[in-house]
Amino acid sequence: MSMMVIQRVIDFIRQQAGIVLTPEKAYFVEARLAPVLREENIASLEEMLKRAEGGDRRLHQRMVDALTTNETFFFRDRQPFDHFRDVIMPELHQRRSPEKTIRIWCAACSSGQEPYSLVMILDELRSKIGNRQVEIVATDISEAILSKARSGIFNQFEVQRGLPTKLLLQYFTKQGENWKLSDDVIRRVNFQKFNLLEEPRHLGHFDAVFCRNVLIYFDRPTRSKVFDRIAGRLAPDGFLLLGGAESTFGVTERFVSHARERMLLIPAPVQKPEIRAVSA
Ligand SMILES: C[S@@+](CC[C@H](N)C(=O)[O-])C[C@H]1O[C@@H](n2cnc3c(N)ncnc32)[C@H](O)[C@@H]1O
């Protein structure tokens, strides 16, 4: 495969999704797109690019789906979920009036294990938060992964990653080789397609944002823009959770660490403009 065509694919995914791939990733590009070429019966990568860039929206989406990395699992890294149960929900529940819905955004939710883990924690918290309404909005750029998330169907390997057996038996039923999550849990997550390179205003305001293991794929200016947009959607006393390899350090000053939990971020206090006395 010519390096020039590979470079055009690299430019394509950077422009469309912000994902930075280096030319050494040629093998990755070829391996990810080969099945699409085969299934779509397209002779070459060049031809596929021409069609996707020439207005074939379906093919365009298939390329984005193929070039995104959807690695995820239930209760990934554990600590953010402990923070959700032990700090975020108790603090928000205490501060918000009882009729207020608490809104959570999972900003790159992949196949849904992250938002579904949050629903399970909310059930665990029921005795503490009573009938408090909580809305979970879960977004991703990949339509293919969102439709898997909405199906609630996971294979044996997926349910063995991070999900305690007790919760597997409580929430899933065996369906052939796979496991199907209960419709009640699926219904409690509002999945929507959303590209983090775009303005999220239409999603509304949130009390907590999980934006985990996606910023690692972006360059620094893109990360900085995404942080700005998240800050614009987040309540001044809200929370932001990143992946274990992600940080705001050197990228944005819009967030600071929570007083007790270093990995938990909160919006930086807004600086009031300095008022100087003007002498006549
Ligand atoms: C590695 S997964 C992380 C999933 C989950 N947050 C976790 O930590 O387990 C990264 C997800 O980000 C999504 N993604 C990549 N670029 C994106 C973009 N520009 N906008 C929205 N989602 C994007 C991918 O489709 C993928 O599902």
Same domain, 57 and 83: no
Q: Return the percent helix, strand and coil in the chain, to nearest 5.
A: 45, 20, 35
Let me know if 243 is exposed, middle or buried by CB neighbors in 10 A (0-12, 13-18, 19+).
middle
Query: Is there a domain that residue 163 lies in?
Result: yes
Instruction: Identify the domain containing residue 17 by its residue range.
Output: 3-67
Read off the CATH number of the domain in which 191 is found: 3.40.50.150
Cα-atom radius of gyration of the chain, to the nearest Å? 21
Query: Is there a domain that residue 73 lies in?
Result: no
pLDDT in tens, 11-53: 999 999 999 998 788 899 999 999 999 999 999 999 999 999 9
Same domain, 104 and 165: yes
Distance 140 CA to ligand 1 centre (A): 6
Query: Is there a domain that residue 185 lies in?
Result: yes
Q: Is the pLDDT of residue 1 over 70?
A: no
Beta strands, E only, the chain = 102-106, 134-140, 153-154, 172-175, 178-181, 189-193, 206-211, 234-242, 255-257, 264-267
pLDDT in tens, 123-177: 999 999 999 999 999 999 999 999 999 999 999 999 999 999 999 999 999 999 9
Query: Is there a domain that residue 275 lies in?
Result: no
Query: Is there a domain that residue 108 lies in?
Result: yes
Longest Cα–Cα distance in the chain: 84
Q: Is the pLDDT of residue 273 over 80?
A: no
Distance 195 CA to ligand 1 centre (A): 9
Number of domains into which the chain is organized: 2
Mutate which of 21, 68, 195 to test ligand 1's pocket (most atoms within 8 Å of Cβ)?
Answer: 68
Atom of ligand 1 nearest to the CA of 243: 8
Pocket lined around ligand 1, Cβ cut-off 6 Å:
17-19, 68-72, 76, 108-110, 114, 140-142, 145, 195-197, 212-214, 243
Same domain, 60 and 109: no
User: Token pair for residue 123?
Assistant: 């059930």
Q: Which residue, judged by its Cα, is nearest atom 7 of ligand 1?
A: 72
Same domain, 172 and 62: no
Distance 271 CA to ligand 1 centre (A): 32
Query: Is there a domain that residue 168 lies in?
Result: yes
Same domain, 62 and 180: no
Q: Are 224 and 251 in contact (CB under 8 A)?
A: yes
Same domain, 52 and 84: no
Query: Is there a domain that residue 278 lies in?
Result: no
